[in-house]
Structure 1
């Protein structure tokens, strides 16, 4: 038996006798007085109650429900509640600029906007009205003029469960939006549950959650990864899941994890914890990273923090539209410091066996290129999303004979693995921004993060993030002495860099901040 329906997920887990306990870093925004410990029965009851609230707010089968709130696991619970009604949840990050949220809400035309006073106040301060693009607005944390107060709906009985066809719309998530307005990615039960969550819920040695595991997650719960993670991990019934929405690591000291999945930006911010006595990662056997590139020093630090004999890091390359495309195991040996400058994490491994096929093509002719030659990476997978809401033509333009244009530039090696060079829009001819970032972070310990921006007619500019906002000039000169010519580094602290809800750098906004202009070597046609 495999997970098959988001709307009844938690009830199905109760029926299966799953005794996993969920520990949260803070109370849920939809249940602020309940506390931070939940059984599966507690979660099933909360989803039923939430379905009652949504129904009382006028949501019915086929309606879209937009959710914009602070990051936490109740994104997934609200999605399950909407799915129980036969509605289609659309999960949007509160980190999106108000004007971007307005564009996305206009495309969605939701029957209900579920949000918070903080989101609405922030939009109002930006002279943006978010309430005008849905029929009704439900506020989770108090009264707001023109909106429904959640307190008025509590206690409403939910209607019966509505079952939908496997190919009917199930959920909408948005892409990261690093290069502009995010796309609204539409998945069905077939693509998101049957092809992703259900397959991940199968037991695989090393990778799958075990009954004795404490599984920690610190991701963006509005992201397309959140629902498959929730369904697959809980279906495998570990002893405990630790859900971190705030990014604060305090819960890890109380509930010490054996497996960790986190945003790359969270791993970077937690890296200092790997050096403290009694660090919370001492018992971790498995780390998982998706969402964005991870650089060698960070991977090395976390593998070194574990007291296990052979801890593993699983690096997954995927997209909201496709799910995982490749994966690779990293070990202490594979990320050990090296004297040469070849990166240790640009090789993203091989396609997922039996599920995904990749090929590299010339960006002009779309003819497949031989191994060793860079090109656009195309992917074929049954987990591919079915549309971009409000941008169907854009979706169709990224398809070529059943192959999906990832927008990434890479190389297929002669052994069948894939090297990631850059996003097409970020590419620098003859170089790799990601590789340069790898090398710089590896050579300059004070650099927390590096972003290299290329502009035609100018030297690439490295933007380096340090804790203090300062950089030792001598250390920098020594680090880049044998690298391609670079402009002088721009030094920022973490908070000065514009980011998405998953912590990715908004490169176009960063370019504007540095007055570099919008021109890039890439076309940006496939972002």
Structure 2
């Protein structure tokens, strides 16, 4: 089924008598009493009910409905419910710091805010609280709270409210707002329309492609950050393909128990989640034995994690599909890896080739914006019809990243002789003379005890290697043996996983980490296109 209206997507799938069962690792925060197993018709009913709740809370067509809560797939159900009303959902990660969340909510000025964060209640006209036992103001079913949080509603205040008929919007009207990861500062609020997201991105994924396409007998597992745009696009495609089962993980740690019972045949997860699953994949509890296809997006994957996951599968020819793109553009390049290819792989920097017929790439001189020869480092520009429609509250910033029909990704890369893309670094993170990502690859490949290596480039001093290990310790003799073959680096800093500041997608907040370590976030890059 080709995705059409996201507000009635689940209704359309239910009308087709979809046989898909959805299994959760924990109940939805918006329906904790309904358990962890759903049919598609039950999801359709929940979306319609949620539309009634939002309408009773005051959401109307053309207004924004912000959602900020604990990570779970009900983010996307609430988005569909808001779209059904003609409203525009704005999905904000529960991992955002209070100051960042406050600024983003001020830019959004949402009519309704759905949240489990008490501090957020002061930044919307009407608040629907998901906090259990949270007191509310006037208690009226249709009470409209003011900006100081008075009249805050909880779900019990709006349950049973009837949803109006679905609202159909123009394909070029705003459909959904997602934010970027925010590795280099305050996230941008990215606006997509039905044309840019559902029609261009999801429709491409909805095609039944041999080997990599979703099959009707698949058990599809997803472990993601559901506030981000990737899963909303995934929703628009995967339900139309009607796999046998969809397994949703809200936390990486639930994989052992949930995937041990519901063995997946395809898995999509955050790069940071794959890193954390390596130990599980190598254990006797390995739940990945039946996986035929792994999918990764957001970030480049360092080779050790790719090898570990492919080796965990007992299939004869499991496949790894790597996508690279941005919230603003969707996927720009893709590549595939087999076990044999992964064994030869020494770098995560090769990102594959542009999606045929969908995207075009140029590598240009950052100063002149003239094309550079193949093999020469430069700034990556992308051309795609899936480019977002703007940034909320920062349209000048969005316009500055446009060069006619081309979008400035802010990434430095090399275009290979055969047309592939070899990523070097984000421009803001770049260090003259070498690639931080390349050094990270080498360290992770040669020191298996390092879960993650992050090379930071402070201005005026040697790059700092940050080494993440399970216990925050490292054999320094082993480190110096590896460092001897690398470019000049400063003394390593060894940290535990939870000591590293991260985004909702698990990416390292490099500038924040740099500030913690040296007292400021000054780098060699300009940061003009972040």
State the TM-score, normalized to the length of structure 1: 0.96
Measure the CA separation in 1 of the matches of 2:221 and 2:135.
Answer: 35
Shift of 1:100: 0.6
Shift of 1:332: 1.2
Measure the CA separation in 2 of the matches of 1:107 and 1:97.
Answer: 16
Measure the CA separation in 1 of the matches of 2:29 and 2:460.
Answer: 49
Shift of 1:456: 2.6
Measure the CA separation in 2 of the matches of 1:278 and 1:519.
Answer: 45
Shift of 1:403: 0.2
Shift of 1:278: 4.5
> Which residue of structure 1 aligns with residue 241 of structure 2?
236
Shift of 1:389: 0.5
> Which residue of structure 1 aligns with residue 497 of structure 2?
494
Q: Which consecutive unaligned segments of at least 5 residues does structure 2 have?
A: 137-149
Measure the CA separation in 1 of the matches of 2:170 and 2:361.
Answer: 29
Shift of 1:144: 3.4
| Conserved 8 A contact 2:23-2:246 | yes
Measure the CA separation in 1 of the matches of 2:58 and 2:522.
Answer: 46
Whether 2:204 is the aligned partner of 1:199: answer yes
1:361-398 deviation line (CA, Å, top 9, x unaligned): 00000011110000000000000000000000000000
Whether 2:197 is the aligned partner of 1:183: answer no
Measure the CA separation in 2 of the matches of 1:456 and 1:394.
Answer: 25
**Equivalent of 2:135, from 128, 141, 144?**
144
> Which residue of structure 2 aligns with residue 311 of structure 1?
318
Shift of 1:206: 1.2
> Which residue of structure 1 aligns with residue 529 of structure 2?
526
Measure the CA separation in 2 of the matches of 1:278 and 1:114.
Answer: 38
Shift of 1:345: 2.3
> Which residue of structure 2 aligns with residue 63 of structure 1?
63
Measure the CA separation in 2 of the matches of 1:23 and 1:152.
Answer: 28
Whether 2:49 is the aligned partner of 1:49: answer yes
Measure the CA separation in 1 of the matches of 2:157 and 2:458.
Answer: 54
SS of aligned partner of 2:453 = strand
> Which residue of structure 2 aligns with residue 350 of structure 1?
353
Shift of 1:512: 1.1
Measure the CA separation in 2 of the matches of 1:17 and 1:382.
Answer: 33
Measure the CA separation in 2 of the matches of 1:447 and 1:133.
Answer: 41
1:84-121 deviation line (CA, Å, top 9, x unaligned): 000000000010111111100010010001001xx21x
| Conserved 8 A contact 2:347-2:438 | no
Shift of 1:344: 3.1
> Which residue of structure 2 aligns with residue 327 of structure 1?
334
Whether 2:10 is the aligned partner of 1:10: answer yes
> Which residue of structure 2 aligns with residue 127 of structure 1?
none
SS of aligned partner of 1:447 = coil
SS of aligned partner of 1:84 = helix
> Which residue of structure 2 aligns with residue 295 of structure 1?
302
**Equivalent of 2:470, from 448, 460, 467?**
467
Q: Map of 1:225-304 to 2, 5 A cutoff?
A: 225-247=230-252, 248-249=254-255, 250-304=257-311
| Conserved 8 A contact 1:29-1:141 | no
Q: Map of 1:12-51 to 2, 5 A cutoff?
A: 12-51=12-51
1:310-355 deviation line (CA, Å, top 9, x unaligned): 11111100100000000000111122157xxxx3321101000000
> Which residue of structure 1 aligns with residue 224 of structure 2?
219
> Which residue of structure 2 aligns with residue 131 of structure 1?
121
1:487-514 deviation line (CA, Å, top 9, x unaligned): 1110000000000011100111101110
Measure the CA separation in 2 of the matches of 1:349 and 1:380.
Answer: 16
| Conserved 8 A contact 2:347-2:442 | no
Q: Which consecutive unaligned segments of at least 5 residues does structure 1 have?
A: 124-129
| Conserved 8 A contact 1:85-1:159 | yes
| Conserved 8 A contact 2:379-2:410 | yes
| Conserved 8 A contact 1:335-1:344 | no
| Conserved 8 A contact 1:498-1:509 | yes
Whether 2:108 is the aligned partner of 1:108: answer yes
**Equivalent of 1:362, from 352, 365, 385?**
365
RMSD, aligned CA: 1.0
Shift of 1:226: 1.1
SS of aligned partner of 1:451 = strand
Q: Which moved more, 1:272-281 or 1:177-186?
A: 272-281
> Which residue of structure 2 aligns with residue 371 of structure 1?
374
Measure the CA separation in 1 of the matches of 2:316 and 2:57.
Answer: 53
State the TM-score, normalized to the length of structure 2: 0.96
Measure the CA separation in 1 of the matches of 2:135 and 2:106.
Answer: 21
| Conserved 8 A contact 1:27-1:35 | yes
1:227-268 deviation line (CA, Å, top 9, x unaligned): 111121111111000000122212111101000000011111
1:187-229 deviation line (CA, Å, top 9, x unaligned): 0000010001111001111111101100000000000001111
Aligned residues: 513
**Equivalent of 1:436, from 415, 420, 439?**
439
| Conserved 8 A contact 1:335-1:345 | no
Whether 2:164 is the aligned partner of 1:159: answer yes
SS of aligned partner of 1:410 = strand
| Conserved 8 A contact 2:7-2:80 | yes
Measure the CA separation in 2 of the matches of 1:433 and 1:388.
Answer: 29
SS of aligned partner of 1:503 = coil
